[in-house]
């Protein structure tokens, strides 16, 4: 079956439009589960999921944990500090030891690009990438797609500008692949020092100034400026960045059509986005967070069905 997802979700690059649509369509009924008086369905009863987070994360980890618990899975959180990872255990050894305890899925966040793929190739459990280095953050890309589809009714033909630190952003990469597969036009806006080399050859619209992005786009996806970049000399100062690339109410007022504002969080208010924009009528930042739980429930539900050769024998087989 061409729409089945396979064992792992590593990135949106390489997923077909039918596969992305399957995830988004499956997320729709899961939105309702979170509105129930009892926010729980028994779909993953008896499944054990390990959240393996080698990098700090609040929103993504909690969102995955809610998604898992609302599907009735049993969950264990492993953080790199306070575990044997800090004693020098390798990624594969950690995962194999977990697998020896008969787990079914691993959600992994790691600082190295390719870590999720590396793990997925070496263990039988399903692997979901919750962000690997500068590679991809597929569930963030999916929740951005779901939010855009909610707002506009469709993704095909939309113009979405990805603004800011594209160079270091796995969110930007997942958005780029997902949006293109779904037929949207992608614009890129940011200081030249924070754009990857050769990006203009990927068939995107280059928008040198934030004013250009505001004129061009239906929606802006404003990336977080990772503050440690300033010390590394990518930008002169935060104030300077805000003056040139910050999204303010005054700048948005120049838009020819009402824009939607997305931000993956956590926000640096007053740097890449002003507070009155983040909290303003164009912002869909909190709907993004709500959709994140639904989209992660959909991914876990679909992967747990899996392809038969990876089905775990004897698990809750009543």
Partner 1 sequence: MAGALHRMATEIVERNQGTDGLVIVGIQRRGVELAERVAALIEAAEGTTLPRGKLDITLYRDDLQTIGPRPIVNETRLPAALDGASVIIVDDVLYTGRTARAALDEVADFGRPRRVWLCVLVDRGGRELPIQADIVGSTVALDTRDRVEVMVTEVDGLDAVDVIRAANGEAR
Angle between helices 138-152 and 59-70 (to 10 degrees): 80
When asked if residue 28 is in the footprint of partner 1 (CB under 8 A), the reply is yes
- What's the min distance (Å) between Cβ of 293 and partner 1? 15
CB 277 within 8 A of CB 124: no
Query: Pick from 41, 79, 238, 267: which binds partner 1 (CB under 8 A)?
Result: 41
Alpha-carbon distance of 35 to 291, in angstroms, equals: 12
Pairing type for strands 185-189 and 159-163 reads parallel
When asked if residue 37 is in the footprint of partner 1 (CB under 8 A), the reply is yes
Query: Pick from 30, 64, 177, 234: which binds partner 1 (CB under 8 A)?
Result: 30
Alpha-carbon distance of 134 to 123, in angstroms, equals: 23
Query: Pick from 16, 18, 32, 286: which binds partner 1 (CB under 8 A)?
Result: 32
Sign of CA dihedral 195, 200, 201, 204: positive
When asked if residue 304 is in the footprint of partner 1 (CB under 8 A), the reply is yes
Q: Where are the alpha helices (DSSP H) in 170-315?
A: 170-181, 210-216, 228-231, 238-245, 249-252, 275-278, 285-305
When asked if residue 198 is in the footprint of partner 1 (CB under 8 A), the reply is no
Nearer to partner 1, 143 or 189 (CB): 143
When asked if residue 16 is in the footprint of partner 1 (CB under 8 A), the reply is no
- What's the min distance (Å) between Cβ of 94 and partner 1? 27
- What's the min distance (Å) between Cβ of 47 and partner 1? 9
Interface with partner 1 (CB under 8 A): 1, 4, 25-26, 28-30, 32-33, 36-38, 40-43, 46, 71, 301-302, 304-308, 311, 315-318
């Amino acid at each position: 079956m061409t729409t089945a997802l396979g064992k792992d979700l590593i990135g949106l690059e390489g997923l077909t439009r039918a596969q992305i649509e399957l995830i988004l369509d499956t997320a729709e009924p899961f939105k309702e589960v979170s509105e129930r008086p009892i926010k729980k369905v028994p779909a993953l009863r008896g499944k054990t999921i390990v959240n393996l987070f080698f990098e700090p994360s609040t929103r993504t980890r909690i969102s995955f944990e809610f998604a898992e618990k609302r599907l009735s899975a049993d969950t264990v959180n492993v953080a790199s500090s306070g575990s044997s990872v800090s004693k020098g255990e390798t990624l594969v050894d950690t995962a194999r030891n977990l697998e020896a305890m008969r787990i079914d899925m691993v959600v992994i966040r790691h600082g190295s690009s390719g870590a999720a793929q590396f793990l997925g190739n070496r263990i039988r459990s399903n692997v979901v990438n919750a962000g690997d280095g500068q590679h991809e953050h597929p569930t963030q890309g999916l929740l951005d797609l779901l939010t855009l589809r909610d707002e506009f009714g469709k993704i095909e033909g939309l113009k979405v500008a990805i603004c800011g630190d594209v160079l270091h952003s796995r969110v930007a990469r997942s958005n780029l692949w997902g949006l293109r597969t779904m037929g949207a036009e992608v614009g890129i806006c940011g200081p030249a020092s924070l754009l990857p080399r050769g990006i203009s050859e990927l068939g995107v619209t280059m928008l040198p100034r934030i004013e250009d992005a505001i004129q061009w786009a239906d929606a802006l996806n404003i990336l977080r400026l990772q503050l440690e970049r300033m010390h590394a000399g990518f930008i002169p100062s935060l104030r300077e960045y805000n003056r040139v690339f910050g999204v303010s109410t005054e700048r948005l007022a120049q838009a020819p059509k009402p824009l939607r504002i997305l931000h993956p969080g956590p926000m640096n208010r007053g740097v890449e986005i002003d507070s009155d924009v983040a909290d303003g009528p164009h912002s869909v930042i909190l709907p993004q967070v709500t959709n994140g739980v639904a989209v992660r429930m959909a991914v876990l539900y679909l992967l747990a069905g899996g392809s038969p050769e990876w089905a775990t024998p004897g698990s809750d087989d009543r």
